[in-house]
């Protein structure tokens, strides 16, 4: 069921999907190859491939089983994978995300600080000093998985997820950070909130963030938050 060549490992996920693993850990090289595969598949789409779900080190390829079987798709994808080194990727776009830390907007900030034995201001400083890569978008529309958090901030998820998390909330979980585009249930620890709308269907680029972008968080006051709030 799983076959390997030098570079990727294929695994059947369902009768109509195939997982392509580039690594078994989060790595910049796997990320580059995933971006390259998405880029190639966007330029030369495969008829019968219905959906692509990129993640940290894998891409789930959802296909129409009436068109082909797993083995045939594997053969086609091998052809793409063998060309990944030739792909010239565009330079990453850079974003600054204004974020109001703590208080009502970041209800877990103090707890995160306590868990690591540092002050809330140090959490804010560490979180906003780092530059993050958008490894992929997933979970809900426009939710970017940003990595990687500075070692000091790595924090497990809440034992029991919140039934709802306000849109714009900035959370951390393990080595990742991310922004909730919609009010959604969630177990990430919330340290702040951005007034930016991360996903808007009427905007040309619906999702503010895309795979491969670089992101920095910029601390703002709660007055600035209110002034910048995008409904």
Partner 1 sequence: MSSILVESPGLLTTVQDLGRPGFGHIGVSPSGAADPLSLRLGNRLVGNAENAAALEMTLVGGTFIFRQDAIVAVTGSDFGPTLDNVAVRHGEAIEVHANQTLRLGATRSGARCYLCVSGGISVPMFLGSTSTHLLSGLGGFEGRALRKGDILKIGAASGPFRKKRIAPHVMKHLSSRNVLRCTPGPQADWFPEFVQGSFYSSRYRVGEQSNRMGLRLEGPPLPLEARPMITEGVSLGAIQVPSGGLPIILFVDQQTTGGYPKIANVISADLHCVGQLRPRDEIHFAKATFEEARALLIEQESMLASPGAIVE
Point out which residues bind partner 1 (CB under 8 A): 1, 11-17, 19, 24-26, 38, 50-60, 62, 65-66, 69-70, 136-143, 145, 181-182, 184, 199, 201, 206-207, 210-211
Q: Which is nearer to partner 1, 59 or 220 (CB)?
A: 59
Q: Which is nearer to partner 1, 56 or 101 (CB)?
A: 56
> Least distance from C-beta 81 to partner 1, angstroms?
17
| CB-based contacts of 136, cutoff 8 Å, min separation 6 | 34, 54, 55, 56, 144, 145, 211
Q: Which is nearer to partner 1, 107 or 181 (CB)?
A: 181
Give yes or no for a contact between 225 and 100, defined as CB atoms under 8 angstroms apart.
yes
Give yes or no for a contact between 183 and 89, defined as CB atoms under 8 angstroms apart.
no
Report the distance separating Cα 171 and Cα 169, nearest Å: 6
Q: Which is nearer to partner 1, 60 or 118 (CB)?
A: 60
> Least distance from C-beta 132 to partner 1, angstroms?
15
The single residue listed with the structure tokens 């040309």 is 204
> Least distance from C-beta 131 to partner 1, angstroms?
21
| CB-based contacts of 50, cutoff 8 Å, min separation 6 | 62, 63, 64
> Least distance from C-beta 186 to partner 1, angstroms?
11
Report the distance separating Cα 62 and Cα 156, nearest Å: 31
């Amino acid at each position: 069921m799983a076959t390997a060549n030098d570079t990727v490992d294929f695994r059947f996920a369902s009768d109509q999907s195939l997982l392509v693993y580039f690594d078994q850990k989060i790595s910049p090289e796997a990320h580059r190859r995933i971006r390259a595969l998405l880029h190639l598949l966007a330029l030369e789409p495969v008829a019968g491939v219905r959906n692509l779900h990129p993640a940290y080190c894998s891409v789930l390829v959802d296909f129409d089983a009436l068109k082909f079987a797993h083995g045939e798709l594997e053969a086609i994808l091998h052809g793409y994978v063998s060309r990944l080194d030739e792909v010239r990727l565009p330079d990453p776009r850079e974003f600054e995300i204004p974020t109001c830390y703590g208080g009502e907007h970041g209800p877990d900030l103090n707890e995160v600080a306590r868990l690591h034995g540092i002050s809330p201001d140090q959490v804010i400083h560490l979180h906003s000093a780092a530059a993050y890569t958008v490894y992929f978008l997933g979970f809900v529309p426009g939710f970017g998985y940003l990595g990687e958090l500075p070692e000091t901030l790595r924090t497990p998820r809440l034992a029991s997820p919140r039934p709802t998390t306000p849109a714009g909330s900035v959370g951390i979980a393990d080595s990742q950070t991310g922004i909730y585009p919609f009010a959604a249930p969630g177990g990430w620890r919330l340290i702040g909130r951005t007034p930016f709308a991360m996903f808007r269907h009427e905007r040309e680029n619906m999702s503010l963030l895309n795979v491969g972008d670089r992101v920095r968080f910029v601390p703002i006051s709660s007055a600035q938050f209110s002034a910048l709030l995008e409904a």
